[in-house]
Amino acid sequence: MILFGAIGAGAVRSPWAVALAAAPVVYLALATAPVAVSREPLPVARLLVALATVGVYVRVARRLGRLPQYGLCCAALGVTAGFFLLWEPPPPKPVPIARPLIGLRGDLLAQLPGWTGEHEALPASIEDVLGADAYLNLRLRSKAGPYEVQVFVTYNANAMSNIPHVPWVCMAQAGYRLAEKNEADLLHPTKKGKEIKANVILFEPGEGMAPQQALMFQYFNVGGEYQTDRQVARVMAASGAIGRRGSYLSQTQVAVYMPQMLAGNAMERTSEPYQLGVRFLDVIVPLLERDYYPDLTGTEGG
């Protein structure tokens, strides 16, 4: 403040000194704003000081002539461009899962009478590629119908973790062919007015495979927010770290396997396979949110 008082007193004599001072002022505001998202006292205080500095500076700069003001704008734009080109948010704080994910099997079967199945561990080589801190790979069957349902859930304590496993890649490697893919907004089973964005994908068997189609529902959960696009999920993970908040990354896949002769148009919302997949999600989503995903609202997480 004393510095700006001195500059203000000599603004008429040294207008370019005021214009060049735009660079540190703009940088100060840009550097303090993202960290203040955490709402912690010290970052917020720094932001308030930066805003006060900007306010004083604007009052001084208004006394400049047109040419120095033009230089001021150029300096501000240059610093802003450089800041966003070079600045990277800090990595999010890892947030461990609230309960072991393997327990989801018992919770799920308790709400789906007639369905049975066990967790099937993946080969060590696939686990290494998967890179998840926890996962559940559950293949379920029911004597009441011809369908099999696979529930696959992964959890990464660090939201910036890599996402190598996506169904449109892994299912193709297993021999399936992607027949149709779209996005659906599914009503949240327990939160009125909230929707879950999910990919709905139909896979057809490749040459030499059993005549069995697969209808899959898939989505990412980044710190409690649902997303269908892998790249957007990574952007969400990065932006969630700006305020020094912790976050996690989870992926859920529910695949309904069905004989081709019974499939019909499985992508129709009224079809039996589609309704079965939604029924499973209606059970899985609240279980994960309530009992397994950490509560980020009462901590630095978010």
> Can you spell out the DSSP letters for 234-286?
HHHHHHTTTTS-EE-EEEEEEEEEEEHHHHSSTTSTTSHHHHHHHHHHHHHHH
- What pLDDT sits at residue 13? 47
Whether pLDDT at 8 is above 80: no
23-33 average pLDDT score: 66
Pair (126, 261) in one structural domain: yes
Q: Give the per-residue pLDDT at 265.
A: 86
Angle, vertex CA 105, rays to CA 104 and CA 108, nearest 5: 80
Other Cβ atoms less than 10 A from the Cβ of 188: the count is: 16
78: pLDDT confidence band, cut at 50, 70 and 90? low
pLDDT band at 26 (very low <50, low <70, confident <90, very high): low
Give the Cα separation of 202 and 212 in Å (integer). Answer: 11
Q: Give the residue from 86, 116, 147 where a domain finishes.
A: 86
| Contact call for residues 91 and 241 (beta carbons, < 8 A) | yes
pLDDT at 27 over 90: no
Residues 133 and 110 in one domain: yes
Lowest-confidence range among 5-14, 53-62, 218-227?
A: 5-14
Any domain includes 302 = no
User: Do 174 and 227 have their domain in common?
Assistant: yes
pLDDT value, residue 243: 47
* Sequential DSSP letters for 64-94: S-HHHHHHHHHHHHHHHHHHHHH--PPPPEE
Does the pLDDT at position 126 exceed 50? Answer: yes
Domain count, the chain: 2
Q: What is the pLDDT of residue 101?
A: 95
| Calpha distance 300→219 (Å, rounded) | 25
Three-class SS state of 1: coil
Flag whether pLDDT at 2 surpasses 50.
Answer: no
- The tokens for 202 are 């139909």
Mean pLDDT of 13-35: 62
Tell me which amino acid residue 15 is.
Answer: P
Q: Which two tokens stand for residue 207?
A: 């040459």
Per residue in 194-223, pLDDT tens? 899 999 999 998 888 888 899 999 999 988
Residue range 146-158: average pLDDT? 93
User: In which domain, by residue range, is 28 found?
Assistant: 2-86
Residue 297 resides in a domain: no
Q: Where are the beta strands (DSSP E) in 132-235?
A: 134-142, 148-156, 177-187, 195-204, 212-222, 225-227
Most confidently modeled range among 17-26, 68-77, 83-92, 286-295 = 286-295
Mean pLDDT, residues 256-280 taken together: 87
Question: Percentage of residues in the chain with pLDDT exceeding 90?
Answer: 35
Q: With 70 as the cut, is the pLDDT of residue 169 above it?
A: yes
Whether 99 and 76 map to the same domain: the answer is no
Answering whether pTM is above 0.85, one says no
* Helix, strand, coil abundance in the chain, percent, nearest 5: 45, 25, 30
CB burial of residue 253 (10 Å; 0-12, 13-18, 19+): buried
Show which of 37, 65, 86 is a domain's final residue.
Answer: 86
Q: Higher confidence at residue 92 or residue 165? A: 165
Boundary of a domain, candidates 64, 86, 108? 86
For residue 165, is pLDDT > 90? no
Q: Are residues 74 and 127 in the same domain?
A: no
